[in-house]
Amino acid sequence: MKPLSRKLTFQIPLPTEEDARSDRDRVLDTLRPGFGRLEMDLSVTRMLYPAIRSAGGQITVTMLWQGEAWHLTRVEAGDTTAFHYGLAADLGSTSVTMELVDLNRGTVAARASRYNLQREYGDDILTRIFYGKDDPEHLLQLQAAAAETLRLLMAELSERSGVDASQCAAMVLAGNTAMVHFLLGLDAFPLFHSPYAPVTAAPGFVPAAELGLELMGPVFLYPARANYMGGDVLSGIVATGLGRSEGIRLFFDIGTNGELVAGCRDFLVAGAGAAGPALEGGVIRGGMCAGQGAVEHVSIRDDAVELEVIGGGVVRGICGSGIVDLIAELFLEDVLDFRGRLQPEASSRVAEVEGELAYRYVDGDRTADGRPLWFYESDIRRFLETKAAAWTMVSYLMEAVGMEFSDVEGFDVAGAFGTYIRWQSAVTVGLYPDLPKERVRCVGNASLEGARCLLLERSHLEELDKLLRRMDYIQYGAIPNFVETMQAAAAIPHLDLDRYPCVRQWREERRRARAQQKTDGQNTAS
Amino acid sequence: MKPLSRKLTFQIPLPTEEDARSDRDRVLDTLRPGFGRLEMDLSVTRMLYPAIRSAGGQITVTMLWQGEAWHLTRVEAGDTTAFHYGLAADLGSTSVTMELVDLNRGTVAARASRYNLQREYGDDILTRIFYGKDDPEHLLQLQAAAAETLRLLMAELSERSGVDASQCAAMVLAGNTAMVHFLLGLDAFPLFHSPYAPVTAAPGFVPAAELGLELMGPVFLYPARANYMGGDVLSGIVATGLGRSEGIRLFFDIGTNGELVAGCRDFLVAGAGAAGPALEGGVIRGGMCAGQGAVEHVSIRDDAVELEVIGGGVVRGICGSGIVDLIAELFLEDVLDFRGRLQPEASSRVAEVEGELAYRYVDGDRTADGRPLWFYESDIRRFLETKAAAWTMVSYLMEAVGMEFSDVEGFDVAGAFGTYIRWQSAVTVGLYPDLPKERVRCVGNASLEGARCLLLERSHLEELDKLLRRMDYIQYGAIPNFVETMQAAAAIPHLDLDRYPCVRQWREERRRARAQQKTDGQNTAS
């Protein structure tokens, strides 16, 4: 473990008539043999004299490796090496999560998460982009909201841990390109329209005060490879070690956008596309974010629906993992055909509602107003289109590098969605490839993890530089046969069922089970 | 002329699907072939998108050479290269002078000067040092006073020139070590007591905002070689070109302290000592700063005193150049002996006043209260002691490098004092060596000039690094035979009159003239 920051305590030589070097020179000259290029700015220079004087020359310096030089970020009197913390943050458009990391022990001392206060200016990123467009006043508001969110998290971490988070040596933050633009006070509008050139892709180390944060050290912002291949993905790649892997791995981050990176230590290709809010329950009627009252998991056997509801109690809607389960279960139960059409004759729960077929996945006795919840065919279609876009992206990328799924050693799925989704359901709907379960790994908030990894191991800075240079970014704008590929991928799990032997088998097992039950039922009845 | 800052206008390539590099990368990539290492911080990144968009990609960048890399300090829409200004400042403890420099033409567009507002916390530096000692609140006040003085000067320059000084590319500032400490908000107390180690000797480029200044570019502070060999002296050395000279030159800055540098392009030695306020008219009774009513020059012939008074009119006191004249004239007129004792028999103007001998240099008819002004023997002694300390410093330095005055190609005297002092008087009292007049050059505010030179020629940055490394700094603490040398130097012009053949000759001429006049008078009377 070689953390991004180091704390060193030593006795600086006191000045004499013969050696009246400045305090600054005496500190830098002492450190230089071990550390090479060193930088110290005015705010740290101001700490020198009081610190040196108050402890008879015994001081502790905090140094941060910034890629080309060590920067002194703090000078304290006496030996304070026992206190050595950093902050890791994932700046999401919905939620922001932060960790207080003990850099001496390599452990997480506290973690906190809260909604991004920017939601006041728009639930989704696009609304916020338009809110800030060409409007310096609004850009300031967006910046302040992000900063305030981070400040509140720091305060929460301080309270929970008893460690003053503002005394941390540095913060490493990962976020998508738009979120980073907002935090920097930059107009994110160019991210929205072709050719999607950001204002800056690699802001690097930024003084905390310039972001409106009170922190002893600077904030490092994970760089982006391109507009849709933001710092959050790069952070995830660092966390999963894809760029250091011997075998080929896939990294898939499913959120508002879907980002995919495939590769190993020899090559890296990346692509991204709008996965769409369908996967997050955004545009589905009754869809909701994972929270109190959301259907998280669904099992269906013989027309009986079994629900797992977050927090138990009354059902309010269905979140992403529930949607994937529901569609997978309907398909395996033959209530849904491979084109996503509901089969009224296969279930008493299918009915025409508001002019289209829908499936009653929650009965009235479990809702607050006594009305059942329906899942509509048009919602299923929307989900499948989004899934097809993601799949097309994946398959195009694999084709571009001449890979097949069987070549893939591991498949890392990032994001909260990836954590809660059932592997079998994801394979069934064709969201995951038909790979052995053990090759699929849910890596959770890989963006946050990558931020922590960099805090704890500074060599990742160099790795990042290499990753950015090596990574080929594929634009999906001009994919040949895009429509045909999409159409095939919009089927459940795919028009070419040979790609999904597992799903075929599972469906057959279900059919046999249903037939058996029917027989048993008839036998019992007779 | 290669100014510290450059402005360049160009069309940045617009992004395309194939080239969606960030704005930042497109600007840096365009410049890099010509400029190598480039830095751009967040505040400049924020200017990119609006500037690029509003002029269809035509932008003007301002770049500042900071010794190791070019730093982009500004991005503007369109072509603004016609506007290219910088600020040069001399931060003195009494007065602060600033120039607005046209970096396209190499000319001074406006100049302004005002008292340092820090005088509120003490007329002399020492009082201010004690005011700020161990007191962060007081240090803030001293910092704010220096910053406010600079702000007022910027405002004055803006008003006079019609050029907004806050839009300048940079400020280069020179000041002594204590003044620089105060401006940086640092405790200057260690400068006051042995071993005189400053907190920082080379703060370099500091963001203007950190100093409380509103300026597009940073502030460069001239580095110090040692406590008493401050940035003002280094700046003077750059201005006079001593470090580039083929022949040996001396640089002497007379003020509260006396700083001396001797050398050429092959070697450099420097020393400093407390010249003391005696030279500035500080501790002389009736002494005053050069200003309205101050006796600036004195001539004495045959007991008749001729005065040059600043502003004419009523006489209020005597300033430094007047003091040197007065002592020189009294010596040449044989009213003062080489030990600084007044000779009552030689002049009707010598009388015992307040228990000691004094010379009536101003009659009652020229003062406001009708009382004459006296110059006391004890004041003469104080002046000679200070002069002796300075001389000892010079001679020790010359001896240390094995030089004699005859080896010296030129003698540069800096400071307002040097500008107004008469060469003959300075040689007569032994303040200057007995060198031909043409080898003595009064360079005025060399500190300000050096600041301007660096603005206009960035290669001086590199020269400065070399100067600092090459310059041997001599401590006067342990000079052998200090007392003897001092005593010899306390004589007028020196105990060893052979060192001053000129002075011997002048005195003899005066004596002959007086004898002649006496003869003429007797002839006329008879």
Closest CA to B396 of B233, B222, B224, B273: B273
User: What are the Cα distances from residue B228, in Å, to A447, B221, B476?
Assistant: 54, 16, 11
Question: Which chain B residue is nearest to residue A186, measuring alpha carbons?
Answer: B46
C-beta neighbour count of A523 within 10 angstroms: 8
B195 with A477: Cβ contact below 8 A:
no
Query: pLDDT tens for residues B411-440?
Result: 898 877 777 889 999 999 988 888 888 898
Residue A449 in tokens: 């993890």
Q: Is A43 on the interface with B (CB under 8 A)?
A: yes
What is the percent of chain B where pLDDT is above 70?
A: 96
Degrees to nearest 5, angle at CA B407 with B405 and B413: 55
- Residue predicted with more confidence, B475 or B469: B469
CB B436 within 8 A of CB B468: no
Residue A471 in tokens: 């990574």
User: Looking at the predicted structure, is the pLDDT value of residue A318 above 70?
Assistant: yes
- Length reported for chain B: 526
Mutate to test the interface with B, among A40, A41, A42 (most CBs of B within 10 A): A42
Judged by DSSP in three states, A96 sits in: strand
- Residue predicted with more confidence, A61 or B411: A61
Q: Is A187 on the interface with B (CB under 8 A)?
A: yes
Contacting B residues, span 307-336, partner chain A, CB-CB under 8 Å: none
The mean of the pLDDT values for chain B is 90
Which chain B residues touch A206 with a CB distance below 8 Å?
41-42
User: Looking at the predicted structure, is the pLDDT value of residue B280 above 50?
Assistant: no
pLDDT band of residue B526 (cuts 50, 70, 90) is: low
As a whole number of angstroms, the distance between CA A273 and CA B155 comes to 53
Q: Is A21 on the interface with B (CB under 8 A)?
A: yes
Residue A119 in tokens: 């939601």
Residue A326 in tokens: 């529901």
CB B434 within 8 A of CB B405: yes
Degrees to nearest 5, angle at CA A418 with A219 and A436: 130
β-strand B70-77 against B58-65: which pairing, if any? Answer: antiparallel
Q: Give me the pLDDT at residue B474, please.
A: 77
Question: Which chain A residue is nearest to residue B221, measuring alpha carbons?
Answer: A42
CB A187 within 8 A of CB A141: no
C-beta neighbour count of A154 within 10 angstroms: 23
Question: Which chain B residue is nearest to residue A139, measuring alpha carbons?
Answer: B46
Closest CA to A375 of A430, A298, A311, A489: A298
Q: Is A19 on the interface with B (CB under 8 A)?
A: yes
- Closest-CA distance of chain A to residue B17, Å: 5
Q: Give me the pLDDT at residue B104, please.
A: 96
As a whole number of angstroms, the distance between CA A342 and CA A346 comes to 9
Helical pair B231-240 and B459-470, crossing angle rounded to 10 deg: 120
B22 with A210: Cβ contact below 8 A:
no
Q: Which helix (H) or strand (E) is A272 found in, with range?
A: strand A268-273
As a whole number of angstroms, the distance between CA A124 and CA A182 comes to 13
Residue B201 has what DSSP assignment? S
Find residue B373's DSSP bridge partners.
B362
**Sign of the torsion angle spanned by Cα atoms A281, A283, A288, A289:** positive
b (16+ CB within 10 A) / e for A467-480:
bbeebebbbbeebe
Cα B59 to the center of its chain, rounded Å: 40
User: Looking at the predicted structure, is the pLDDT value of residue B389 above 80?
Assistant: no
Residue B65 in tokens: 């050479």
Q: Is A200 on the interface with B (CB under 8 A)?
A: yes
Mutate to test the interface with B, among A199, A213, A471 (most CBs of B within 10 A): A199
pLDDT band of residue A280 (cuts 50, 70, 90) is: very low
- Length reported for chain A: 526
CB A220 within 8 A of CB A171: yes
Q: Is B348 on the interface with A (CB under 8 A)?
A: no
User: What are the Cα distances from residue A199, in Å, to A209, B87, B331, B512?
Assistant: 21, 31, 75, 84
For the residues A286-315, what does the mean pLDDT come to?
Answer: 90
Residue B30 in tokens: 């365009």
Q: Give me the pLDDT at residue B177, please.
A: 93
Which chain B residues touch A15 with a CB distance below 8 Å?
190, 195-197
B227 with A15: Cβ contact below 8 A:
no
Which chain B residues touch A16 with a CB distance below 8 Å?
195
Judged by DSSP in three states, B296 sits in: strand
Q: Where are the beta strands (DSSP E) in B12-80?
A: 38-40, 58-65, 70-77
Mutate to test the interface with B, among A200, A471, A479 (most CBs of B within 10 A): A200
A22 with B186: Cβ contact below 8 A:
no
As a whole number of angstroms, the distance between CA A498 and CA B448 comes to 83
Cα A424 to the center of its chain, rounded Å: 22
Q: Is B48 on the interface with A (CB under 8 A)?
A: yes
C-beta neighbour count of B231 within 10 angstroms: 30
User: Looking at the predicted structure, is the pLDDT value of residue A350 above 80?
Assistant: yes
User: Looking at the predicted structure, is the pLDDT value of residue A326 above 70?
Assistant: yes
User: Looking at the predicted structure, is the pLDDT value of residue A456 above 70?
Assistant: yes
For the residues A259-287, what does the mean pLDDT come to?
Answer: 72
Query: pLDDT tens for residues B342-360?
Result: 999 999 999 999 999 999 9
As a whole number of angstroms, the distance between CA B193 and CA A282 comes to 70
Region at B364 (left for phi over 0; alpha for psi -120 to 50; beta for the rest): alpha
- With a threshold of 0.90, tell me whether the complex ipTM lies above it: no
User: Looking at the predicted structure, is the pLDDT value of residue A425 above 60?
Assistant: yes
CB B390 within 8 A of CB B431: yes
Q: Which helix (H) or strand (E) is A463 found in, with range?
A: helix A459-470
The side-by-side arrangement of strands in the sheet containing A268-273 is A440-444, A410-414, A249-254, A258-263, A268-273, A472-474
Q: Is B184 on the interface with A (CB under 8 A)?
A: yes
Backbone angles phi, psi at A475, to 5 degrees: -85, 135
As a whole number of angstroms, the distance between CA A510 and CA A221 comes to 49
Q: Give me the pLDDT at residue B475, please.
A: 66
Q: Which helix (H) or strand (E) is A375 found in, with range?
A: strand A373-376
User: What are the Cα distances from residue B105, in Å, to A461, B9, B85, B452, B458?
Assistant: 44, 18, 9, 13, 15
pLDDT band of residue B278 (cuts 50, 70, 90) is: very low
User: Looking at the predicted structure, is the pLDDT value of residue B452 above 90?
Assistant: yes
Query: pLDDT tens for residues B17-42?
Result: 888 899 999 999 999 999 999 999 99
CB B235 within 8 A of CB B251: no
Q: Which of A194, A199, A475 sits opposite B23 (nearest CB)?
A: A199
Closest CA to A232 of A115, A93, A120: A93
User: What are the Cα distances from residue A517, in Å, to A199, A513, A520, A526, B175?
Assistant: 62, 6, 5, 14, 95
The side-by-side arrangement of strands in the sheet containing A70-77 is A5-11, A58-65, A70-77, A38-40
CB A132 within 8 A of CB A139: yes
Q: Give me the pLDDT at residue A405, please.
A: 82
Query: pLDDT tens for residues A122-175?
Result: 988 889 999 999 999 999 999 999 999 999 999 999 999 999 999 999 999 999
Query: pLDDT tens for residues A76-119?
Result: 999 999 999 999 999 999 899 999 999 999 999 999 999 999 99
User: Looking at the predicted structure, is the pLDDT value of residue A274 above 70?
Assistant: no
Query: pLDDT tens for residues B292-328?
Result: 999 999 999 989 999 999 998 899 999 888 999 999 9
DSSP H stretches of helix in B167-230: 177-184
CA atoms lying within 13 Å on the CB side of residue A50: 17
Residue A323 has what DSSP assignment? H
pLDDT band of residue B525 (cuts 50, 70, 90) is: low
Closest CA to B143 of B184, B113, B171: B184
As a whole number of angstroms, the distance between CA B185 and CA B188 comes to 9
Query: pLDDT tens for residues B119-171?
Result: 999 988 889 999 999 999 999 999 999 999 999 999 999 999 999 999 999 99
- Closest-CA distance of chain A to residue B19, Å: 8
A42 with B206: Cβ contact below 8 A:
yes
Closest CA to A199 of B78, B28, B80: B28
Q: Which of A17, A22, A42 sits opposite B201 (nearest CB)?
A: A22
End-to-end CA, chain A: 71
Across chain B, how many H-helices and E-strands are there?
A: 14, 22
As a whole number of angstroms, the distance between CA B172 and CA B103 comes to 13
Residue B455 has what DSSP assignment? H
Q: Which residue do the tokens 């036998």 mark? A: A523
Q: Give me the pLDDT at residue B221, please.
A: 98
Q: Is A59 on the interface with B (CB under 8 A)?
A: no
Instruction: Tell whether omega for the bond before A198 is within 30 degrees of 0, i.e. cis.
Output: no
